[in-house]
Amino acid sequence: MPKNTDEYTIGVEEEYQVIDPKTRGLAARAERVLERVRQALGDEEVAPELRASQIEVMSPVCRSLAEVRAELVRLRGAITQAAEEEGVRIAAASTHPFSHWREQPLAPEERYQKLLESYQRLLRQQLAFGFHVHVGLEDRGTALEVMNRLRPWLAPLLALSANSPFWLGEDTGYASYRTQVWGRLPTAGPPATFSSLAEHDALVRALVETGSVLDTASVYWDVRLPEKLKTVEVRVSDACSRVDEAVMLAGLSRALVRSCRERGERGESYPSVRPELMRAAHWRASRHGLDGELVDPEAARAVPAQQVIEKMLAFARPALEEAGDWEEVAALARETLERGNGASRQRRAYERAGRLEDVVDMLVEETAPGGRVRQGRE
């Protein structure tokens, strides 16, 4: 059982696109939607993001996957309703199929202006939407050990979630092009391992003091230890258009954190993977998603995606079973392997008529609460 009843909680952050229903392009109307939705949700569950066409929601702390599902449905429902009242729509995916970053103004918050001053064109090009899972863990030293051990499982999570194949009106050839856009920032990507919490904290301090990042919140590793929260934050995934996929990733993230923690307590070894191979594993997951081979960092070779996903499920199974999540999460992961991830669905939607507008329509439909749940979809 967990060492503390407050541990292994789940919090989910989703970033949504605001869509013009006529053009299907991004609409810089997030501020108006936020004003309306705050009447229903308040300030703690919704926030502006980098772009004026972007909205972030933050779930309350959840203790079960059933709670995660219910909260995401509730939040999506509130955002969708507020958007429709403002004459726009909401979609969840990590890139927009054709809207150009040059045409998307930044949100007016001072923080984003400071980021622009620091990163310049790299920041202007960040038209990307993320999905983050916070897993509660009280002790930061233990959380750091988990972060070290979690690194080999980040790329499979990315492959399952990949949902950004199109960029500026073209198929990029990548399943997750967000990973390539986001990865240009100086601290984006998988972190290296740390020998101690002191080493970790000293590096974060040095990044801030050298002006390499604006503050600790701008350390954008694919898994990190937030300064103000007692969590492990898994940030590697693309935004999920379907609630099912968000629930799957939340369940896997929690189970992986717990599995890594418990194996560490038993003194079990874990693969010491060089950062170059780790980056290669993330590149392959970004490039192919589930449609090619992924890197098995422990074996240092490329293997079929299904084999890597099944290995991750086996690693996480005891924790999933302990939480009562095994059947749901395993079924969703295997269904994703069989039917394809979001990138595959976007491409199929485009192939039907060669219209990227149809891709946007599909994303809007899937994002809406109750849109294409597991039963009877496709």
Encode pLDDT of 25-37 as tens digits: 999 999 999 999 9
pLDDT score, position 63: 97
Output the pTM of the full model.
0.95
How far is residue 174's CA from residue 183's CA, in Å, rounded to a whole number? Answer: 14
Say which CATH number the domain at 23 has.
Answer: 3.30.590.20
Number of domains in the chain: 1
Answer yes or no: is 373 within a domain: no
pLDDT tens digits for range 235-266? 999 999 999 999 999 999 999 999 999 999 99
How far is residue 329's CA from residue 308's CA, in Å, rounded to a whole number? Answer: 16
pLDDT of 83 > 60? The answer is yes
Answer yes or no: is 42 within a domain: yes
Which range, of 41-50, 74-83, 227-236, 341-350, averages the lowest pLDDT?
A: 41-50
Closest C-alpha among 101, 89, 169, 129 to residue 356: 169
Q: Which residue range is the domain that position 332 belongs to?
A: 10-367
Answer yes or no: is 273 within a domain: yes
pLDDT score, position 272: 84
Answer yes or no: is 3 within a domain: no
User: Which amino acid, 191?
Assistant: P
Answer yes or no: is 375 within a domain: no
Answer yes or no: is 377 within a domain: no
pLDDT, mean of residues 41-69? 94
Answer yes or no: is 1 within a domain: no
Answer yes or no: is 2 within a domain: no
